[in-house]
Each structure stands twice: as C-alpha cells, then as structure tokens.
Amino acid sequence: MINLNYTYRIYPDAEQVESLNEWLETCRGVYNYALRELKDWISSRKCPIDRCSLESEYIMAADYPFPGYQQQQNNLPKAKKDYPRLKAVPAQVLQTTVRRLHDAWDFFKERGYGFPRFKKYGQMKSILFPQFKVNPITGWQIKLPKLGNVQINLHRPIPDGFVVKQVRVIKKAMGWFAVITIQSDISIPDAFPHGHFIGVDVGLNSYLATSDGFIEPGRKFFKEEHRRLKVLQRRLSKKNKRSKNYEKARLKVEKQHNHIAFKRKDYQYKLAH
C-alpha cells in the first residue's frame, strides 16, 4: 500500500470562496465547542468534591461520560436541529473537525504537553474531505461535496493505478490549495544498492556537507526577505485592530511569510534533486 500527497493550486469563484470561508468559521465553532466540553469535564474532576469552588469550576454530573470522539460525533446530528448553520457544511467535514481535536488530545496524553487551544477568528485554515466514491478530478476541475466543480491547476498528473482517497483544502494568503492524498495497492520492490555512496551531514555552520568534500552553505531566506517583512510589520502595528486597513496590512504580512516559505521549499527540492 502506497500513499502520496500531491499539492495543487485551486481557483474557486467568488461564491465558492464565500462558502469555504463560512465553512471554516463553522468548523472553528464546532472545534471550540467540543474543546469547551472536554475542558469542562476535566475541570469538574480535577479536585475533591468537598473542596471545589462553585464559582471557578464548572460542575458536571458525576455519571456524565467522558466526551470522547464517538460521543461528540454522535451529537452532531442533534446539534444541527438547534444550529441550522451546521447543515451547510458536509457532515464528514464536521466529523473530521472533531477527529482533529481528539488527535490533538491523544498527542497531549502521550507526550504530556501541547494541550489543545481554542482557535481564534481566522485561525482555522483547512478542512478535510475524508473520502470519495468516484474520482473527483475531471480534466482541469475537481468536484467537492456541496461546493461543485472547482478549477484546479493539475500541473502534475495523477499516476496510473492510483485513486484519490481524500482532499484537504487549505487557505493561504497566496490563494487556495488542495492537498490530494492518493493511494495504490501496488508494491515497489526494494532497490538494490548501486552507484556511488556518499554520506550527508546537516549542520549549523553549513546547510549540509558530504563525504566527497562538497559543502552547501545554504541560503538565509528569512534574513534576505526580512527588510521587506520589517516594513510591512511596522505598517501593521500602526493600524487599528479589526479595521479594514488592518486586515489589508495583515494579509500583506502573511503573503510575505508565504513567499519566504515557498522560496525555502523550492530551494530544498532543487538541492535534493
């Protein structure tokens, strides 16, 4: 079984962009509500019953079960009756949002740090479509549930023998992207060692050094682009928060960070090649 992730640029129209932004905010509300229930359950049980403060701690019934993934997922259909806004979002997208919270909770229990945090306005940047019955990609379009056909720059064709398993739509300052997970049942035999062997070491003084004596000093992309970033951040600091000009300046700062990240990623791929 082989799984690969391909990233493509997508171009939703104005109506689709509005729907995606509403879905992101709805998923953020679902995430925060589920986290609030989880934190209330923990707060009601972290101190003795005869010493709990009725003002600072939220008391839940002693027989109330732990709000696990299955319970919160089963509560989604009931919540749609009280909050019709949830009906606009595909059901599986809401389920994966709850799954995302419990993945973070499991990580916290294993590692002992990284307790899930509430997401502020605009912090939910991606949604996941977990499964497709048929191939959603037709030509230069991708068909997403309740969204319809979206233009996609399919610069890299899907290999033969692979099927699309899931699609994650990501919102960035540069635009919208789709990370498509493809899967195949083919097995690739282990390659027999051949050719010229080298050792590669990644260091601090230089980006990498090989046993052949080649040294790659590396490029400091953040340092190179910091002058422009500094100007944009200075302009942002002078704007009134939540104003339209503040949002415009914030997007410019985010775009500059995206530009730096894209340059670094492009450099790493070219160096590896």
Distance CA 169, CA 93 (A): 11
Could you give the CA distance from residue 210 to residue 216 in angstroms, rounded to a whole number? Answer: 9
User: Does residue 54 surpass a pLDDT of 70?
Assistant: no
Q: Is the pLDDT of residue 92 over 80?
A: yes
- pLDDT surpassing 80 at residue 49: no
Confidence band, pLDDT 50/70/90 cuts, at residue 56 = low
Rounded Cα–Cα distance for residues 118 and 28 (Å): 9
Whether residue 51 is predicted with pLDDT greater than 80 in this model: the reply is no
Confidence of residue 192 (pLDDT cuts 50, 70, 90): confident
As a whole number, mean pLDDT of residues 93-103 equals: 96
Residue 58 scores a pLDDT above 80: no
- For 44-125, where are the alpha helices, taking DSSP H only? 69-74, 76-82, 91-111
**Across 66-94, average pLDDT:** 93
| pLDDT score, position 242 | 85
Write down the pLDDT at residue 161. Answer: 86
Dist CA 266 CA 221 (whole Å): 11
Q: How far apart are CA 10 and CA 151, in angstroms?
A: 6
The answer to whether the Cα torsion of 20, 6, 116, 87 is positive or negative is positive
CB < 8 Å & 24+ apart, contacts of 99-108: 99/69, 99/73, 100/31, 100/128, 101/31, 101/34, 101/35, 101/38, 102/68, 102/69, 102/72, 105/38
Checking if the pLDDT of 15 tops 80, the result is: yes
**Separation of alpha carbons 253 and 247, rounded Å:** 10
The per-residue pLDDT for 258 is 92
Tens of pLDDT, residue by residue over 164-176, are: 999 999 999 999 9
What is the structure's pLDDT at 44?
82
Please state the pTM of the whole predicted model: 0.86
From CA 150, how far away is CA 147, in angstroms rounded?
A: 8
pLDDT in tens, 18-45: 999 999 999 999 999 999 999 988 888 7
pLDDT at position 124 is 95
Q: What is the mean pLDDT of the chain?
A: 91
Q: Are 183 and 269 in contact (CB under 8 A)?
A: no
pLDDT single digits (tens) 108-127: 999 989 999 999 998 999 99
Burial 175-207 (b: 16+ CB within 10 A, else e): ebbbebbbeeeeeeeeeeeeeeeeeeeeeeeeb
- The model's confidence at residue 2, banded by pLDDT at 50, 70 and 90, is confident
What confidence tens digit (pLDDT) does each residue in 214-271 have? 898 888 888 888 899 999 999 999 999 889 999 999 999 999 999 999 998 999 889 8
Confidence of residue 181 (pLDDT cuts 50, 70, 90): very high
pLDDT per residue over 193-206, tens digit each? 888 888 999 888 88
